[in-house]
Amino acid sequence: MIELLKDFPSNVVALSAEGQVSREDYQKIVVPAVERTLNQHEKVRLYYKIGKDFTGIDIGAMWADTKVGMGHFFRWERIAVVTDVDWIKHSVMAFGFLMPAQVNVYSTAEAEDARKWISAT
């Protein structure tokens, strides 16, 4: 399940993922939030908190994630991933360089640092 987080600047899409993430989560929550932000800003930032009870992502959600990311490839400015899930940390660190955006990974204890970084002008 994905939910939108509040109290972030308007150029930041802030999400929290818990449990199993589905294609429907992306279609109903992520895609509209990204599109809304891109309609208001040239560049978009992503704050993505992945909880300890995250169990995985459906193949349909992975495809939707790829379409959203690639569809606006050069409009991503910063991405902050906040998680204590090791395989996600390692995956983001290993493949983050492929994104045109600055990508940083934070532990949940560093969530406030991630929020400051993603919100900084």
Please state which CATH number belongs to domain 2-119. 3.30.750.24
Q: What is the pLDDT of residue 103?
A: 92
Domain extent listing, the chain: 2-119
Q: How many Å separate Cα 103 from the centre of its chain?
A: 10
Q: What is the pLDDT of residue 67?
A: 58
Q: What is the pLDDT of residue 71?
A: 62
CA distance 93 to 87: 10
Q: What is the pLDDT of residue 97?
A: 77
Q: What is the pLDDT of residue 61?
A: 65
Report the percentage of the chain scoring pLDDT > 90: 55
Closest CA to 17 of 61, 66, 60: 61
Under a CB-based contact definition with an 8 Å cutoff, are residues 20 and 55 in contact?
yes
CA distance 113 to 57: 26
Q: Directed axis angle between helix 59-71 and helix 31-40, to 10°? A: 10
End-to-end CA distance of the chain: 30
At 54-91, the pLDDT tens digits run 888 877 666 556 656 666 667 889 999 999 998 888 88
Under a CB-based contact definition with an 8 Å cutoff, are residues 92 and 105 in contact?
yes
User: Is 53 or 60 the better-scoring residue by pLDDT?
Assistant: 53
